[in-house]
């Protein structure tokens, strides 16, 4: 099963470091880095509004536990957002490309 994994990072520098680690380890085929994301959330009983950077990671379910482990080893947050969504359909040629770029 193919996955799209969403991760927020504190800034583009951290997002790039996470992305490079995942790609170099063969755990993701492609990662989009989207800056300028505003997140609103409660943390330690306080309402927060933060500028963050969003990573959109394309991978497969059998790699997800290793994706989590690598992200946690790099990420600065105590509890990073790591959410996987199943890909229910996709262009076959793109999905073959994903397969070819995962090790």
Mean pLDDT of the chain, nearest integer: 97
Range(s) of the domain holding residue 61: 2-100
Q: Per-residue pLDDT tens for 15-52?
A: 999 999 999 999 999 999 999 999 999 999 999 999 99
Pairing type for strands 46-60 and 82-86 reads unpaired
How confident is the model at residue 103, as a pLDDT? 76
Q: Per-residue pLDDT tens for 52-82?
A: 999 999 999 999 999 999 999 999 999 999 9
How confident is the model at residue 51, as a pLDDT? 97
Measured between alpha carbons, how far is 35 from 3 in angstroms, rounded to an integer?
A: 21
Question: Number of folded domains in the chain?
Answer: 1
Q: Where are the alpha helices (DSSP H) in the chain?
A: 12-24, 64-74, 92-100
CATH code (residue 49): 3.30.70.120
How confident is the model at residue 11, as a pLDDT? 97
Measured between alpha carbons, how far is 98 from 101 in angstroms, rounded to an integer?
A: 5
Measured between alpha carbons, how far is 103 from 95 in angstroms, rounded to an integer?
A: 14
Other C-beta atoms within 10 Å of 52: how many? 22
């Amino acid at each position: 099963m193919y996955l799209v994994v969403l991760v927020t990072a504190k800034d583009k520098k951290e997002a790039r470091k996470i992305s490079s680690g995942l790609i170099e380890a063969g755990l993701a085929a492609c990662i989009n880095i989207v800056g300028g994301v505003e997140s609103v959330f409660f943390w330690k009983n306080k309402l927060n509004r933060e500028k963050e950077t969003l990573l959109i990671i394309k991978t497969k379910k059998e790699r997800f536990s290793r994706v989590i482990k690598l992200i946690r080893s790099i990420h600065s947050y105590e509890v990073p957002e790591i959410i996987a969504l199943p890909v229910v359909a996709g262009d076959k040629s793109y999905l073959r490309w994903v397969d070819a770029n995962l090790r």
